[in-house]
Structure 1
Amino acid sequence: MTPFVAEVVGTALLIIFGGGVCAGVSLKKSFAQNSGWIVITMGWGMAVAIAVYAVGKFSGAHLNPAVTLALAFNGDFPWANVPKYIVAQFLGAIIGATVVFLHYLPHWKETEDPGVKLGVFSTGPAIPNTFANLLSEIIGTFILVVGILAIGANKFTDGLNPFIVGFLIVGIGLSLGGTTGYAINPARDLGPRIAHFLLPIPGKGSSNWSYAWIPVIGPVLGGSFGGLFYKAVFLGQMTAIFWYVLTALVIVLAIAFIQQGKAAYKTSKKTFM
Structure 2
Amino acid sequence: MSSSDIFIGETVGTAILILLGGGVCAAVTLKASKARNAGWLTIAFGWGFAVMTAAYISGPLSGAHLNPAVTLAFAIKDGNWTDVPIYLAGQLLGAMIGAVLVWAAYYGQFQAHLTDKEIVGGPGAQATSAKAVEARDKGAGPVLGVFSTAPEIRHTVQNLATEIIGTFVLILAVLTQGLNDEGNGLGVVGALITAFVVVSIGLSLGGPTGYAINPVRDLGPRIVHALLPLPNKGGSDWSYAWIPVVGPLVGSAIAAGVYNAAFA
Give the TM interval when normalised to the shorter protein: 0.7 to 0.9
Tell me, what secondary structure is at the counterpart of 1:106? helix
Q: 2:241 aligns with which of 196, 200, 212?
A: 212
2:110 corresponds to: 108
Cα shift at 1:67: 0.6
| Fraction of identical pairs, as percent | 54
- Between the aligned partners of 1:233 and 1:126, the Cα distance in structure 2 is 35
Residues 84-95 of structure 1: pairs in structure 2 closer than 5 A: 84-95=86-97
Q: Which digits, 9 at most, give the CA deviation of each residue in 1:67-109, with x for residues without a partner? A: 1011101116x20110111011000000000000011001112
2:100 corresponds to: 98
Residues 69-84 of structure 1: pairs in structure 2 closer than 5 A: 69-75=72-78, 78-84=80-86
Cα shift at 1:136: 0.3
Residues 4-23 of structure 1: pairs in structure 2 closer than 5 A: 4-23=7-26
Runs (5+) with no aligned partner, structure 1: 236-273
Question: Would you say 1:223 and 2:252 are equivalent positions?
Answer: yes
- Between the aligned partners of 1:83 and 1:162, the Cα distance in structure 2 is 23
2:56 corresponds to: 53
2:201 corresponds to: 172
2:192 corresponds to: 163
| Stretch of structure 1 that moved more, 125-134 or 1-10 | 1-10
Q: Which digits, 9 at most, give the CA deviation of each residue in 1:5-45, with x for residues without a partner? A: 11000000000000000000001110000000000000000
- Between the aligned partners of 1:188 and 1:7, the Cα distance in structure 2 is 12
Cα shift at 1:165: 1.1
Letter aligned with residue 170 of structure 1: V
- Between the aligned partners of 1:178 and 1:231, the Cα distance in structure 2 is 30
Matched residues, number: 231
Cα shift at 1:120: 0.2
Cα shift at 1:230: 1.1
- Between the aligned partners of 2:104 and 2:22, the Cα distance in structure 1 is 12
TM-score by length of 2: 0.84
- Between the aligned partners of 2:166 and 2:189, the Cα distance in structure 1 is 23
Residues 14 and 47 in structure 1, CA contact (< 8 A), matched pair in contact too:
yes
Cα shift at 1:151: 2.0
1:248 corresponds to: none
- Between the aligned partners of 2:240 and 2:26, the Cα distance in structure 1 is 21
Q: 2:43 aligns with which of 24, 27, 40?
A: 40
Cα shift at 1:224: 1.5
Residues 186 and 216 in structure 1, CA contact (< 8 A), matched pair in contact too:
yes
Question: Would you say 1:146 and 2:172 are equivalent positions?
Answer: yes
Residues 26 and 116 in structure 1, CA contact (< 8 A), matched pair in contact too:
no
Question: Would you say 1:132 and 2:158 are equivalent positions?
Answer: yes
Runs of 4+ in structure 1 deviating by more than 4 angstroms, as ranges, are none
- Between the aligned partners of 1:203 and 1:108, the Cα distance in structure 2 is 10
Residues 75 and 81 in structure 2, CA contact (< 8 A), matched pair in contact too:
yes
Letter aligned with residue 89 of structure 1: Q
- Between the aligned partners of 2:179 and 2:143, the Cα distance in structure 1 is 39
- Between the aligned partners of 2:162 and 2:142, the Cα distance in structure 1 is 21
Residues 109 and 203 in structure 1, CA contact (< 8 A), matched pair in contact too:
no
Tell me, what secondary structure is at the counterpart of 1:180? coil
Residues 142 and 234 in structure 2, CA contact (< 8 A), matched pair in contact too:
no
Tell me, what secondary structure is at the counterpart of 2:208? coil
Residues 233-252 of structure 1: pairs in structure 2 closer than 5 A: 233-235=262-264
Runs (5+) with no aligned partner, structure 2: 114-118, 121-139, 181-186
Q: Which digits, 9 at most, give the CA deviation of each residue in 1:133-152, with x for residues without a partner? A: 00000000010000111223
Residues 7 and 55 in structure 1, CA contact (< 8 A), matched pair in contact too:
yes
- Between the aligned partners of 1:150 and 1:115, the Cα distance in structure 2 is 39
Letter aligned with residue 97 of structure 1: A
Residues 11 and 92 in structure 1, CA contact (< 8 A), matched pair in contact too:
yes
2:70 corresponds to: 67
TM-score by length of 1: 0.82
